[in-house]
Amino acid sequence: MVLLFKNVLKMKKVRYKKYLFFIGLIVLSFIPLFDLLHPGLPITHDGQDHVARIANFYQNLKEGNIIPRWAPNLNWGYGHPILMFLYPLPSYLASLFHFFGFSLVDSVKLVFGISFILSAVAMHLFTKELLNDEKAAFLASLLYVIAPYRFVDLYVRGAVGEHVAFIFPPLIFYFLLKLSKKFSKWYLLGGSLSLAGLILSHNAISLMFFPLFFLYIIYLVWGSKDRKYLILNTFYLILLGLGLSAFFFIPAFMEGKYTLRDIVTSGGEYKASFVIWKDFFYSTWSYGGTLAFSKQIGMMHWIGIFSSVIATYYLYKNKNKLWMVSLGGFLIFWITLFLMTSASATIWQSITLLQKFQFPWRFLSLTVFLSALLGAIGLQLFNGKHKTAFLLILTVALLLVNKDYWHANGFLQKQESFYSGIYNGTTDTGESAPIWSVRFMEKRAKANMEVIAGDARIRGIKRTSTSHKYKIIATERSRIRENTLYFPGWDVFVNGNKADVEFQDSLNRGLITFFVEKGENDVYIKFNETKLRLVADIITAATLAVVVSYLAFGLKKKYNPRDEKEK
């Protein structure tokens, strides 16, 4: 009996130790988020604009628009198509919190905070599976979240899209790795959802990580015993991920030609944003603009990066295939640094796709991931108590070195109506504005609709984000201007008939104008899905149906005890 009791205690102790580092990781991940508990919105470059965008996004959802594409209150009330080109996942998440009663500001702060913690969990899952080492996974996760650039995104830039995107690269790597070892519908679907999540979180970051994913897939296929099977399952994973996110990225890519999307890159703005090599090692912390804030990798991160070189040698010597991951990660890390410096200017000039990223320092998102992974591999040099001691020293040093970076530079205190009402700006630099319009409107319109020629009386009936109804009584044929920016999808119906719309008049540039005949006119203006958007929606709906059916079919399978024995 005593022996049994001792065995039970021993089992509980082992189980406790198993989750000790994971629990510690969660606790430590909360520390940098304390400033989010302060009332108000942290003062950042883009934070206020993100809240205004999400207010417009939520308004669409509330009105029944499942896929919000039009921001009715932005651009001084003339509306804006920015939601069509802006990564929607952060807005969906914030809208969910807002639906449950949180203010718009608190909803955004919740997205920041939860994303921060989930990214640590995701990194822990991947590195634990890759290295089969709880301590190394703990270090990788901590390096992943306690990195200077993460706090630039959180408290300097307020880049909610990039922040949410950090959740998904480790998850994609995790599910790819699991799928290479054993097929499971959960790994396939988990990987597909993670890929879709990354695409829906941030356009540029997803493009940056794609080459890394494909290199890792090649590595997994090379080491697989059943290569054809893995290639096929990986293809399904990618296909499902692209299908689930098609409603966003297809219109965003294809209809971008109607916007001024190249206005921020055509002038070579990237040239002014190259990073000086010394700034990767240390740069003064600042809440300033693009050229001022810190681009440092992190002092503790550099220790992990250089220690991975020695670890790579020992892994190779011991015939451990992870030496390829370590060496590849190390080389890609330095290539990434090179792409952020002026030495790569010729490459940026030749490969115009890079210019779409706007700022070379965006590649810091890749360095955060790679440096965390290399740091975990570097820890493999230690064993037993030495590993625990070194991990403890690194953890304390990491927190102490970065403690001054996880604070806000002040807080905005504004009424909810400031974000949900008419917003005097587009929340971007004009790149989402239609090519036939002015880059920014400069003042609010006198009314939603005006008579610009002829004589008529206008009475508003109903107005939502994507539909406007009026009654117009004209004493003569009159020209009417709807003070809404035109973009493909806007249609005007007069007395049930589709009217001709003019939107390139130099005197009413970019705005919807049309004619009504003498008499009483029922006018209905509606923002519809174009054929392209409809096809994209159908692709996503069909993919979602496949996923749901696949899950339902799997759950209907009867439990067979023999299957458990075979496992």
Nearest to 360 by CA among 347, 376, 378: 347
What is the full per-residue pLDDT of the chain (567 aa) written as tens digits? 444 444 444 544 445 566 888 999 999 999 999 999 999 999 999 999 999 999 999 999 999 999 999 999 999 999 999 999 999 999 999 999 999 999 999 999 999 999 999 999 999 999 999 999 999 999 999 999 999 999 999 999 999 999 999 999 999 999 999 999 998 999 999 999 999 999 999 999 999 999 999 999 999 999 998 899 999 999 999 999 999 999 999 999 999 999 998 776 666 678 889 999 999 999 999 999 888 999 999 999 999 999 999 999 999 999 999 999 999 999 999 999 999 999 999 999 998 888 888 899 999 999 999 999 999 999 988 887 889 999 999 999 999 999 999 999 999 999 999 999 999 999 988 889 999 998 889 899 999 999 999 999 999 999 999 999 999 999 999 999 999 999 999 999 999 999 999 999 889 989 999 999 999 999 999 999 999 999 999 999 999 999 998 888 766 554 444 444 444
Written as one string, the DSSP assignment of 507-522 is: GGTTEEEEEE-SEEEE
Which residues, other chains included, contact 533 with Cβ-Cβ below 8 Å and sequence gap of 6+? 69, 247, 250, 251, 255, 489
Structure tokens at 78: 């003339």
Residue 526: CB atoms within 10 A of its CB come to 14
Tokens of 469: 């109804």
* CA separation for the pair 198, 206 (Å, rounded): 6
List residues bridging with 80 in a β-sheet.
71
Residue 351 DSSP label = -
The Cα 455–Cα 134 span in angstroms is 77
DSSP 22-57: HHHHHHHHHGGGGGGGSSSEE--SSHHHHHHHHHHH
Q: Are 272 and 440 in contact (CB under 8 A)?
A: no
Among 528, 526, 530, residue whose Cα is nearest residue 464: 526
In 3D, which of 249, 256, 310 has the Cα closest to residue 537? Answer: 249
Beta bridge partners of 472: 458, 521
Give the length of the chain: 567
